[in-house]
Structure 1
Amino acid sequence: MLAPAMNGSRNVIIAAAEAKVRRVVFTSSIGAVYMDPSRSRDLVVDESCWSDLEYCKNTKNWYCYGKVVAEQTAWNVAREKRVDLVVVIPVIVIGPLLQSTINGSIFHILKYLNGSTQTYVNATNGYVHVKDVALAHILVYETPSCSGRYICSESSLHRGDLVEILAKLFPQYPIPTKCSDEKNPRVKPYLFSNEKLKDLGMKYTPVKEGLYDTVTSLQEKGHLPFLTGSRL
């Protein structure tokens, strides 16, 4: 995972420099930002934050490790080649699927609808609609004053809140109602800053609408039975 992440970033930035493009917009991931056990969940996670590489290595979280080194490689090469680089950092992306297959972000939703899991974990995630992620790229590309990193996040939810929203929208599916961790207190959601994009005029799609669009897309693509009674 690491070699393609670093080499891919390096090759794209070098190619952009050779083509004399005016700006490169790089899609990173929240995985490059928040994986740091020493950071309190009472603190806002903003664009200055980076995931702890040693922690990612020790926990064998190679996805987040790869996202960090991919973005850092892009920044290093961009500075060397004098490329105008701006980075968009989405949280978990929800909404309609372009592809017919299921990726990790969408399986994260699907498993609570198709009966494959009977409990939800004591964990939290940030969520954002795919159309907002697309708009974020356009905004930072077209605004000359943009620079640095831009976190793209609408809401940060505990899994218990997530399944509660799904159950209200789609009560016909076997959505779990119990947490797998009944001993520990509910984990607090991270506070992801989204002010930089809001300052550019971004108006985020409510997470409830994003989840509704996700499920209806799963129905349309045959990953879920189409059951009547869905409502937004």
Structure 2
Amino acid sequence: MDGVGKVVCVTGASGYVASWIVKLLLLRGYTVRATVRDPNDQKKTEHLLALDGAKERLKLFKADLLEEGSFEEAINGCSYVIHTATPVSLDAVDPQAELIDPAVKGTLNVLKSCKRSLVNRVVLTSSMAAIIAHDPCPNGTNDVADETTFSDPKFCEKKKLWYALAKTLAENAAWEHARDNEIDLVVMNPGLVIGPVLHASLNFSVGVVVGLINGKDPFNSGQYRFVDVRDVALAHIKAIEDSAASGRYIIDGPVVKLNDDIEKVLREFYPDLCFADEKKNVGMFELDLVTYKVRVEKVKSLGIELTPMETSLRDTVLSLKEKCLV
């Protein structure tokens, strides 16, 4: 139990990835201060309060991304902060208000409280969206995505990739603020996260799997990359436990084909599954999400063994069925 006696704040703790981070922290002996928008909303918090160790070592705090200082109470006295709280939407009506302001201002709000509370290290949940949204290589070869690659805000604006823009601007602001204020910052950049759900509601990425179960191709691309939520959560924790951890960490899986790898797994549960023949769309998914070559050696150096896609997808479906979400 590596975390005995250590206190960690997890923001946005009722979220999909964050809930797994809280679960694993408690299992490793940490005391967790978890921020949520409404601690009295049982639908959002009951799964957290039911976790092993929660009764003894989990406390919920109310905090709002846009309310300056609202994270202060939760962060004060913590050795580490894992900042996952951010809105996720691909069809925002007002991207500035719904995505960009909460992502950027919320991140700075949290970092300011970390500075005042002398937190040892901050781990920020960013995204592959902050890496792959840029003009393709001019010679037509596949891009290589590694930790040195950043999305281009101007490209995001031009293509109306508002979620990618929000994640990019938030991460850029975090790095700048961390440098200016001598904050030890580590950033995680996961791809499309699947795996078992701890709460009885759908988030965006697991909703993609529900779409697949219903015979749809939500990205209209015919191929996907998935990464397991348990691997993503553990990577965040390893980043606070390994003093040598630094910079960014890509967490992503290999390309898998809809009518081959994915269909094979889903047919175990739904033998009559048939995917509709849909035309590839544009807009959000004009961005080529899968042809880039991805390097994950760095996250493996933290001791992360990436879960095979088949296991992740199978466990996702079992979890969705158990929670009556499909």
TM bucket normalised to smaller: 0.7 to 0.9
CA, structure 1 residues 103+10, in 2 after alignment: closer, same or farther (shift >3 Å)?
same
Q: What are the superposed Cα offsets for residues 35-62 of structure 1, whole Å, 9 maximum, x if unpaired?
A: 1232356232101111121121112111
1-side partners of 2:219 and 2:180: how far apart? Answer: 46
- Residues 10 and 74 in structure 1, CA contact (< 8 A), matched pair in contact too: yes
Which residue is equivalent to 1:82?
Answer: 182
Which runs of no fewer than 5 residues in structure 2 stay unpaired? 1-98, 281-287
CA, structure 1 residues 38+154, in 2 after alignment: closer, same or farther (shift >3 Å)?
closer
CA, structure 1 residues 118+33, in 2 after alignment: closer, same or farther (shift >3 Å)?
closer
1-side partners of 2:121 and 2:100: how far apart? Answer: 25
Which residue is equivalent to 2:127?
Answer: 29
2-side partners of 1:120 and 1:134: how far apart? Answer: 25
Which residue is equivalent to 1:217?
Answer: 319
Whether 1:20 and 2:20 are equivalent positions in the alignment is no
Q: Percent identity?
A: 35
CA, structure 1 residues 41+152, in 2 after alignment: closer, same or farther (shift >3 Å)?
farther
TM-score if structure 2 supplies the norm length? 0.62
Deviates more, 1:196-205 or 1:206-215: 196-205
2-side partners of 1:118 and 1:72: how far apart? Answer: 32
Which residue is equivalent to 2:229?
Answer: 130
Which residue is equivalent to 2:269?
Answer: 170
C-alpha RMSD of matched pairs (Å): 2.3
Give the 4+ runs in structure 1 shifted more than 4 A.
none
Whether 1:4 and 2:102 are equivalent positions in the alignment is yes
Which residue is equivalent to 2:200?
Answer: 100
1-side partners of 2:123 and 2:156: how far apart? Answer: 25
Which residue is equivalent to 1:208?
Answer: 310
Q: What are the superposed Cα offsets for residues 72-93 of structure 1, whole Å, 9 maximum, x if unpaired?
A: 1111111111100000111111
- Match of 1:157, SS? strand
Match for residue 189 of structure 1 among 288, 291, 295: 291
- 1:197 corresponds to which letter in structure 2? V
2-side partners of 1:119 and 1:200: how far apart? Answer: 32
Which runs of no fewer than 5 residues in structure 1 stay unpaired? 225-232
- 1:126 corresponds to which letter in structure 2? R
2-side partners of 1:148 and 1:120: how far apart? Answer: 30
1-side partners of 2:166 and 2:219: how far apart? Answer: 27
Whether 1:54 and 2:154 are equivalent positions in the alignment is yes
TM-score if structure 1 supplies the norm length? 0.85
- Residues 194 and 226 in structure 2, CA contact (< 8 A), matched pair in contact too: yes
